[in-house]
Structure 1
Amino acid sequence: MRLTSFTDYGLRMLMRMASAPDRAFSTADLADEFGLSRNHLAKIMQRLAQAGLIETRRGGGGGAALARPASEIRLGAVVRLLEEGQPLVECLSGGGGACTLDGRCRLKARIRSAEAAFLADLDRATLADIALEPLRGG
């Protein structure tokens, strides 16, 4: 299974925030750290904030921080949120895509089962399990 870059960077942002839960991270700082455009990062932050995973504050001292403890955020839920609308393969999309085998294909059920197993495994872990080690001054 391949995750979109949207999900990849969303997970990285959450891991970074979990490494310093008392700190608010500015969009500029995270964009620089990940080598990502602020615009792309803002879209990811918006999705995470709408889902209640992060809180954002504007102005001096503002930024984004986890809305609840990392130990309460399941990885499977994060991946489901960020991959929403991104089917694993075209035939799993809403209209079935442009599959010429529709009605005869037995692969679709296997792929759905594998995707469910993948997400179930991620549901067993929390953001706290994968949080980055805090950076130490040197």
Structure 2
Amino acid sequence: MRLKKYTDYALRVMIYTASKPEGELANKKEISDVFHISENHLGKIIHKLNKLGLLETIRGRSGGIRLAKPPSEINVGYVVQAMEDDFHLLECFDRETNYCVITPACKLKHILNDALRAFLEVLEEYTLEDLLSNKDELRDLMNIT
């Protein structure tokens, strides 16, 4: 299974924003420079994270973004599931586009569904705060002072 870049970048935005010193805002330009992601693409990600209630956006010349809630209240599994638009591991996971003739008797779909559920359950055990246990190292790598 592979998550989309959209989800990967969303998690990076959350980690970057949470790594900023208390009260300091992050901005698209900084994040773009650190991760080499286009500001345009980041804008879409930030907009979605804002709509989900995970980020606050502050407009204006000295604006930027910050977490909308403490890192301990932001569940990694929730972020991943909210950013991914489907978890169709195989054709048979999507009833509308499934043309596989062995679907009625196939055991693979059930095994992969169990694996997917286990994957998501593990992600739900972690919060953004868990991803920040090495905050000083992260700040060094992202050039956050």
Whether the TM-score (by the shorter chain) exceeds 0.5 is yes
* One-letter amino acid of the structure 2 residue matched with residue 103 of structure 1: P
The CA distance in 2 between the partners of 1:64 and 1:48, in whole Å, is: 10
Amino acid at match of 1:9: Y
Alignment-derived partner of residue 89 in structure 1: 90
Match in the other structure for 1:77: 78
- Going from structure 1 to structure 2, the CA distance change for 1:107 and 1:44 (only over 3 Å counts) comes to same
Tell whether 2:63 aligns with 1:62: yes
Report the alpha carbon displacement of residue 33 of structure 1 after superposing the two structures with TM. 1.1
Letter in 2 for 1:49: N
CA distance in 1, matches of 2:36, 2:101: 40
TM-score (structure 1 length as normaliser): 0.88
- For residues 64-94 of structure 1, the C-alpha deviation after alignment (integer angstroms, 9 at most, x for no partner) is 1100000001111011001123523332235
> For residues 11 and 62 of structure 1, what CA distance do their matches in structure 2 show?
21
1:1-43: per-residue Cα shift (whole Å, max 9, x none)? 2111111111111011111252221111111111011111111
Write the distance in 2 (CA, Å) between the matches of 1:55 and 1:97: 40
- Percent identical among aligned pairs is 38
Unaligned 5+ residue runs, structure 2? none
The change in CA–CA distance for 1:98 and 1:5 in structure 2 (over 3 A counts) is farther
Matching residue of 2:121: 120
**Cα distance, 1:109 vs structure 2:** 1.3
Deviates more, 1:80-89 or 1:103-112: 80-89
TM-score, normalised with respect to structure 2: 0.84
Q: Cα distance, 1:105 vs. partner?
A: 1.8
Deviation at 1:98, TM superposition (A): 4.1
Two-structure CA RMSD over aligned residues (Å): 2.0
What's the counterpart of residue 33 of structure 2? 32
Shift of 1:96: 4.2
Q: Which residue of 2 aligns with 1:48?
A: 49
Deviation at 1:102, TM superposition (A): 2.4
For the residues of structure 2 that align with 1:62 and 1:72, how far apart are their CA atoms? 24
> Structure 1 counterpart of 2:135, which letter?
E
Q: What is the distance in 2 between the residues matched to 1:65 and 1:94? A: 39
Structure 1 gaps of 5+ residues are none
